[in-house]
Amino acid sequence: MERSAQFQREAIEPREILQESDTDLRITWADGRVCSFQAAALRRACPCAQCVDEWTGERTLKPNAIADEVSIGDITTVGRYALNFRWSDGHQTGIYSFKYLRDLCEQA
Ligand SMILES: [Zn+2]
């Protein structure tokens, strides 16, 4: 059990967060897994209240509302648990927890 808990923690702890270009982000996790994220896909997965209905959990943001060319303007860390992106389309309210990012990567 303890070993499993340790693994879980390592899995959502980033060792390196690297913005490779305007549209590509790479996260290397403490457990060694490397995840590559593409800006448009990340932008479409924004978890904020403007993009997801807070009550139903339903995504209200339509994928085709986001241009494939959307890029990452800026990335800031939020505490020790999340990233906040400022996108080229001006959107910047999404808080992407490391757990959420890891889940997105595993689903891809
Ligand atoms: Zn959003």
- The ranges of the chain with pLDDT < 50 are 1
Alpha-carbon distance 55 to 47, whole Å?
13
5: exposed, middle or buried (Cβ count in 10 Å: 0-12, 13-18, 19+)? exposed
pTM given for the model: 0.89
How many angstroms separate the alpha carbon of residue 3 from the centre of ligand 1?
35
Q: How far is the CA of 19 from the centre of ligand 1 (A)?
A: 20
Question: What pLDDT is attached to residue 108?
Answer: 78
CA 75–ligand 1 middle distance (angstroms): 14
Predicted pLDDT at 12: 86
Expressed in angstroms and rounded, the spacing between residue 33 Cα and the centre of ligand 1 is 26
Name the 3-class secondary structure at 17: strand
* Other CB atoms within 10 Å distance of the CB of residue 48: 15
Residue 1 pLDDT = 46
Report the Cα 2 to chain-centroid distance in Å.
27
